[in-house]
Amino acid sequence: MGYKRSQKTAEREIRIQKAIAALQNQEFSTPNAAATHFQVNPKTLRKRLAGLNSRAQARESQQILTIAEEKTLVRWIKCYSIGGNAISSSLMLELAQTIIKSRVWHASSSYIAPPIGHEWIYRFIGRNPTIQLIWSRQMAAQRFDGATYDIVKSWFDAIAGKILEHKYELQNMWNMDESGFGIGDSQSTKIIVPIGKQHKNKKIVGKQELVTDIECINAAGEALPPTIIFKAKNVNANWLPSERPQGWRYTYSTNGWTSNEIGLEWLRTVFEPLTRPKANVGPSVDDLNQRLLIVDGHGSHIRADFIAYCMENKIDLLVMPAHCSHILQPLDVGVFSSFKAAHSGETDAYSRLSSDRIPRQEWIQMFSRARAKAVTPENIRAGWRGAGIVPSDPMKVLERLAREPSSSTRPPRTPPDQNTLDTTLLQSSLPEGVELRQSNAAFRTALRGSNDIISPVYRYAERMTRLCEIQNSTIAIQAKQIAEQSALLNSRKKHKRGKRVRLEGIRVYSDEQVVQIAREEESNKKPAGPKRPRGRPRKRPIEELVTESEAESLISLSSESELEIEECVGRRTRSRME
């Protein structure tokens, strides 16, 4: 594993560059004055002014990527992370390999790029202290895209307006939410095993069913008794242990989730009677202080009867924006993660003793012990603090969000004076096998050996070669991204929509059988009749209706005249026969 370059080293290098730029702009008269101002070593500053490279620049020839190419790769890593598509170790190796291959402009077919080992990743991270290698956590795209800067800022504006209007006490600011717990389910944890042990498996009982827990906490660090929802048709008294916690509520539903009826019943029988004494200053409802209840956008929280009951009892209901509860809800920020970790520990302790199913009676005891470890005043207050509500600190959340969506690409800009450029080098063909990195290194070496070139020209040439490497790396990464997107679009275009065919008689099918049955169904298909127009019938103009009625009247008149003619012919025929 490579040596991790400290953040102080990177900051010192930045101060040295600022001191050099200040001396070149004649902001200081002596190097000692610039070194004192920027807090750098005067000897180091003099060596840099004399042309000595930094430690990173001196070792650049030993690196797989140049400094400019590594900076480009770091910039792309940050762009991917902002968009929620963090770069993995394997993808970073592919990008580095792509940059190396793009250096050769006219390479022969025999060119083979040098391989990159896995240890290079640790050396690369060590040279760039602004990035790190961590474990990722999965997050739904709706949550990641829903928590935007403007939406979260509007939420903090709304909650600040409520607090300013009613001046809630900490004991009257509440947050309620539901969370699911799997009986017998556990989490991945770090374990200690003997050296040489191959498998990393951990024995657990296995998930039996899902149980929902309704929790409610206030900003003073207090919590109401929980409400447990089992998957059943009724509550069985045998589920409850003899030494059970006092004040807990138990209910049921067909799937173990909450419902509209359970949410309203919880509001009436749990929240209202248990929080009223904290807000009560007199015997009547008018003497109650306003209570704030923060909930998410679940359907059971925004029903008309739920909202009406809150209005009748001076409960201000504040609904969080959609897909933002993971950063705005105190329960999600400070309580539920530690709660589920403690519940996982209790499940692991049970699994070490028995492999049988966990009875609900024993699970309630395990759940009670886990809740005592997690739902503590410290975690509750940390949740309100982490959500930026108490104390009020919106920037704690907003600084993690981008104000505007960042773009990984920039539109090309045309230089103002193209006619003044000498294009002879651009129009001439490059020799075969010329590599960008070697060409730039040779160019810079030649500049250093020439005494006729003034310092500004040398600095400009140095920046131009670095910029060339940065742009080449950027184009290589963008080309790889475009190629992957094109491959995905082409695969979608090739996919044809087939007809739905009902398969009967066999339980398991192979792909050849499915294709054969679909072809037989297509060959036996009867010719379709005329298609009926879709949608509602078109309203016909008045002119068409008038023309059609006139035509019908003419047809009726002609038919009447034909009948009269037939009648007359019949009379004459009968008179002649008589």
Residue 538 domain flag? no
Q: Pick from 432, 462, 430: which is nearest to 446 by CA? A: 462
- CA 158 distance to own-chain centroid: 24
Q: Are residues 273 and 392 in the same domain?
A: yes
Are 181 and 154 contacting, i.e. CB atoms less than 8 angstroms apart?
no
Q: Are residues 170 and 40 in the same domain?
A: no
The pLDDT of residue 507 is above 50? no
How many Å is the Cα radius of gyration of the chain?
A: 38
Question: Any idea what DSSP says for residue 291?
Answer: E
Q: Are residues 15 and 83 in the same domain?
A: no
pLDDT at 492: 67
- Listed in sequence order, the DSSP H helices in 333-454 are 336-353, 360-374, 377-386, 395-398, 424-427, 436-449
Backbone angles phi, psi at 174, to 5 degrees: -120, 155
Say whether 292 sits in a helix, a strand or coil.
Answer: strand
Q: Are residues 54 and 102 in the same domain?
A: no
Q: Are residues 25 and 84 in the same domain?
A: no
Q: Are residues 279 and 301 in the same domain?
A: yes
Residue 245 domain flag? yes
Domain-terminating residue out of 348, 381, 398: 398
The pLDDT of residue 404 is above 60? no
CA distance to 199, 209, 254, 571, per residue, from 203 (Å) = 12, 18, 30, 109
pLDDT in tens, 338-394: 999 999 999 999 988 888 899 998 999 999 999 999 999 999 999 999 999 999 999
Q: Which is more confident, 378 or 488? A: 378
Q: In sequence order, which residues have a C-beta less than 8 Å from that of residue 169 and are 6 or more positions away?
A: 289
Domain-terminating residue out of 9, 35, 58: 58
Q: Which domain holds residue 106?
A: 65-145+457-483
pLDDT in tens, 224-255: 999 999 998 888 888 888 787 888 999 999 99
Residue 506 domain flag? no
The pLDDT of residue 160 is above 70? yes
Q: Pick from 114, 48, 137, 329: which is nearest to 216 by CA? A: 329
pLDDT band with cut points at 50, 70 and 90 for residue 413 = very low
Q: What gap in Å lies between CA 562 and CA 556, rounded to an integer?
A: 10
Residue 545 domain flag? no
Residue 198 domain flag? no
The mean pLDDT of 183-194, rounded to a whole number, is 83
pLDDT at 506: 53
Amino acid at 225: P
pLDDT at 540: 56
Q: Are residues 140 and 258 in the same domain?
A: no
The pLDDT of residue 85 is above 80? no
Domain-terminating residue out of 356, 375, 398: 398
The pLDDT of residue 312 is above 70? yes
Are 67 and 74 contacting, i.e. CB atoms less than 8 angstroms apart?
no
pLDDT at 485: 77
Q: Tally the domains of the chain.
A: 3
Residue 333 domain flag? yes
pLDDT at 523: 74
Q: Are residues 124 and 37 in the same domain?
A: no
pLDDT band with cut points at 50, 70 and 90 for residue 12 = confident
Q: Are residues 251 and 390 in the same domain?
A: yes
Residue 503 domain flag? no
Q: List the CATH number of the domain containing 393.
A: 3.30.420.10
Q: Are residues 251 and 376 in the same domain?
A: yes
Say whether 313 sits in a helix, a strand or coil.
Answer: coil
Lowest mean pLDDT, pick from 33-42, 342-351, 531-540: 531-540
Q: Which is more confident, 146 or 258? A: 258
Q: Are residues 17 and 94 in the same domain?
A: no
Handedness of CA 257, 262, 267, 271 (dihedral sign): negative
Residue 442 domain flag? no
Buried b or exposed e, range 393-422, using 16+ CB within 10 angstroms: ebeebbeeeeeeeeeeeeeeeeeeeeeeee
Q: Are residues 156 and 134 in the same domain?
A: no
